[in-house]
Amino acid sequence: MGSEKKLIELDDALSRMLASIAPLTQTELIPIQQAHGRVLAREVRSALNVPSFDNSAMDGYALRCMDVSEADIQNKKAFAVSQRIAAGDTGEAVQAGTLVRIFTGAPVPPGADAVIQQEHVTLQEGGLAVLDRLPRFGDNIRRAGEDIEAGAVVIEAGKRLSTVDIGVAASVGQAELEVFRRPKVALFVTGDELTEPGHPLKPGSIYNSNRYVLNDLLHQMGCDVSDLGILQDSLPVVQDALQQVAQEHDLILTSGGVSVGEEDHVKQAVTNLGRIELWKLAVKPGKPLAFGQVNWPDEKGHAWFIGLPGNPVASFVTFLLAVRPFLQKLSGRPVSPRHAVQLQASFSVKTKERREFLRARMNDDGLVELYPNQSSGVLTSMAWAQGLVDIPARTEVHPGDQVSYIRLSELST
Ligand code: AMP
Ligand code: MG
């Protein structure tokens, strides 16, 4: 297997790919309503305490604990209600020996040190109020700064913004956020055998599935995608198309045409327009993956190039293993490690010269099961799978052995 010796280990390839790129630096200021999924470029620091004032956690009565004794409770002492504070109002200092009617979110008036829930208060005629229990210091008061203290960093730079982050930004008064621009990615699929869904299938054709999978994965990664459809298996066609888009994109992503067949023109096109830095990984599926760069027509810059294999499972898996971390770094995010858990195998398998990522899921007994058909053309294996089992090259696995299992959900964004 002389040719297998030239295969590059996945993690070596990945380190080299990541080492070649620098994160995008351009930023934009966007309204928080549009911030979901964007990558924060400048940390958000709170200028204020949240909440910014002590406020009531309940509808009830604010008071000074020192004004109420055990004997008052036993004797059902009636207290005057001297003030009413609703949310949005500002109150005045508590008059000694009185209660203050207060509602959830309203500022606790100066002097008050507890709020008693209205369920523990009975109103008498004339507006006097009787308490059925002794309040304790601090009861039902939400303290200023208990959520966020002024000066605290509430969202770190590099974070991909979630729904809650948008809420946190809003809660500290921020209407806009500074985010990195999205990576611009040109997507091409290659293959004369491809027919678009929605059209009749010609003899010898198959439906184009990679275009839709990759387009969706790129969107999930927060990219600005130019979905450029199918390229014919022809060197001039591929070369022209790649050259045309290089200047406008950070990355050109292709599927198919990177193997060793006579109709595999993508690698040659990239070599003619720039260079291939890596080709062929010691992984299964995904061996033909190629990485390089396509120069701008004026040679003053370049777009990165990643060529994924055409087989649907191979292109999907290599996207998750290699393109995703690449895009994370390009986007200004930390590159997330592949978290694997150790689980027991229910199967036997023996790998050869390449590390294998097998479509798997956990069964009811907590054992990892493999999809019966592991061919890289069987896309339904990916739909069935909930994870990938990562098995090193030249390894034999028997039922009961521990294997590394990577949840697909951890690889998706
Ligand atoms: P290639 O890498 O171009 O040699 O393609 C490998 C296999 O993947 C072939 O069986 C192709 O027909 C299939 N294939 C390539 N591109 C696609 C695509 N976009 N959608 C579905 N299958 C594809
Ligand atoms: Mg092809």
Q: Residue 185 sits in a domain of what CATH number?
A: 3.40.980.10
Contact between residue 336 and residue 413 where contact means Cβ atoms under 8 Å apart: no
Question: Does residue 31 lie within any of the structural domains?
Answer: no
Contact between residue 245 and residue 267 where contact means Cβ atoms under 8 Å apart: no
**Phi/psi at 396 (nearest 5 deg)?**
-110, 130
Contact between residue 406 and residue 338 where contact means Cβ atoms under 8 Å apart: yes
Q: Residue 110 sits in a domain of what CATH number?
A: 2.170.190.11
Structure tokens at 367: 């054992």
As a whole number, mean pLDDT of residues 177-202 equals 98
**Phi/psi at 295 (nearest 5 deg)?**
-70, 150
Q: Flag whether the pTM goes above 0.85.
A: yes
Stated as kind and residue range, the H or E segment containing 30 is: strand 27-31
Question: Does residue 79 lie within any of the structural domains?
Answer: yes
**Distance (Å) from CA 312 to ligand 1 centroid:** 7
Question: Does residue 378 lie within any of the structural domains?
Answer: yes
Residue 5: what pLDDT?
60
Rounded distance between C-alpha atoms, residue 20 and residue 284, angstroms: 24
Rounded distance between C-alpha atoms, residue 407 and residue 10, angstroms: 18
Question: Does residue 4 lie within any of the structural domains?
Answer: no
Rounded distance between C-alpha atoms, residue 208 and residue 231, angstroms: 12
For the stretch 26-78, pLDDT in tens is 999 999 999 999 999 999 999 999 999 999 999 999 999 999 999 999 999 99
Q: What does the DSSP 8-state code read for residue 32?
A: G
Instruction: State whether 293 and 200 are in the same domain.
Output: yes
Q: Name the domain boundary from 314, 331, 348.
A: 331
> pLDDT class for 413, splitting at 50, 70, 90?
confident
Q: Name the domain boundary from 331, 354, 385.
A: 331
**Distance (Å) from CA 233 to ligand 2 centroid:** 7
Rounded distance between C-alpha atoms, residue 251 and residue 306, angstroms: 7
Q: Name the domain boundary from 116, 142, 168.
A: 142
Residue 2: what pLDDT?
43
Residue 412: what pLDDT?
77
DSSP 89-138: ----PPPTT-EEEE-TTPBPPTT--EEEEGGGEEE-GGG-EEESS---TT
Instruction: State whether 194 and 313 are in the same domain.
Output: yes
For the stretch 341-351, pLDDT in tens is 999 999 999 99
Q: Residue 174 sits in a domain of what CATH number?
A: 3.90.105.10
Instruction: State whether 64 and 110 are in the same domain.
Output: yes
3-class state of residue 202 by DSSP:
coil
As a whole number, mean pLDDT of residues 100-107 equals 98
Contact between residue 305 and residue 297 where contact means Cβ atoms under 8 Å apart: no
Q: Is the pLDDT of residue 246 over 70?
A: yes
**Closest ligand (CA of 191):** 2
For the stretch 356-396, pLDDT in tens is 999 999 999 999 999 999 999 999 999 999 999 999 999 99
Pocket test for ligand 1, best of 190, 196, 202, 210 (most atoms within 8 A of CB): 210
Question: Does residue 108 lie within any of the structural domains?
Answer: yes
Contact between residue 288 and residue 318 where contact means Cβ atoms under 8 Å apart: no
Rounded distance between C-alpha atoms, residue 190 and residue 210, angstroms: 10
Greatest Cα-to-Cα distance within the chain, rounded to the nearest angstrom? 99
As a whole number, mean pLDDT of residues 284-309 equals 97
Rounded distance between C-alpha atoms, residue 218 and residue 228, angstroms: 13
What residue numbers bound the domain in which 215 lies? 10-26+181-331
User: Measuring from atom 10 of ligand 1, which residue has the nearest CA?
Assistant: 311
**136: burial class by Cβ within 10 Å (0-12, 13-18, 19+)?**
exposed
**Closest ligand (CA of 260):** 1
Question: Does residue 5 lie within any of the structural domains?
Answer: no
Q: Is 206 in the pocket of ligand 1 (CB under 6 A)?
A: yes
CA angle 108, 109, 113 (to 5 degrees): 65
Structure tokens at 24: 């995008």
Stated as kind and residue range, the H or E segment containing 55 is: strand 55-56
The distance of Cα 157 from the centroid of its chain, to the nearest Å, equals 14
- Summary mean pLDDT of the chain: 97
Rounded distance between C-alpha atoms, residue 272 and residue 172, angstroms: 53
Instruction: State whether 262 and 215 are in the same domain.
Output: yes
Instruction: State whether 41 and 117 are in the same domain.
Output: no
If one counts the domains in the chain, the total is 4
Q: Is 254 in the pocket of ligand 1 (CB under 6 A)?
A: no
Instruction: State whether 90 and 125 are in the same domain.
Output: yes
Rounded distance between C-alpha atoms, residue 180 and residue 159, angstroms: 11
Q: Is the pLDDT of residue 292 over 90?
A: yes
Question: Does residue 115 lie within any of the structural domains?
Answer: yes
User: Measuring from atom 12 of ligand 1, which residue has the nearest CA?
Assistant: 193
Q: Is the pLDDT of residue 1 over 70?
A: no
Instruction: State whether 86 and 108 are in the same domain.
Output: yes
Residue 411: what pLDDT?
87
Instruction: State whether 309 and 240 are in the same domain.
Output: yes
In the chain, the percentage of residues whose pLDDT exceeds 70 is: 99
**Distance (Å) from CA 266 to ligand 1 centroid:** 13
Rounded distance between C-alpha atoms, residue 357 and residue 220, angstroms: 22
CA angle 228, 412, 284 (to 5 degrees): 80
For the stretch 162-177, pLDDT in tens is 999 999 999 999 999 9
Rounded distance between C-alpha atoms, residue 363 and residue 265, angstroms: 42
Contact between residue 39 and residue 180 where contact means Cβ atoms under 8 Å apart: yes
Instruction: State whether 173 and 307 are in the same domain.
Output: no
In single-letter form, the type of residue at position 351 comes to T
**Closest ligand (CA of 376):** 1
Rounded distance between C-alpha atoms, residue 109 and residue 93, angstroms: 5
Contact between residue 376 and residue 256 where contact means Cβ atoms under 8 Å apart: no
Question: Does residue 63 lie within any of the structural domains?
Answer: yes
Structure tokens at 186: 């040109």
Q: Is 259 in the pocket of ligand 1 (CB under 6 A)?
A: yes
Q: Is 208 in the pocket of ligand 1 (CB under 6 A)?
A: yes
Instruction: State whether 168 and 41 are in the same domain.
Output: yes
**Distance (Å) from CA 193 to ligand 1 centroid:** 8
Instruction: State whether 90 and 101 are in the same domain.
Output: yes
Residue 15: what pLDDT?
98
Instruction: State whether 97 and 154 are in the same domain.
Output: no
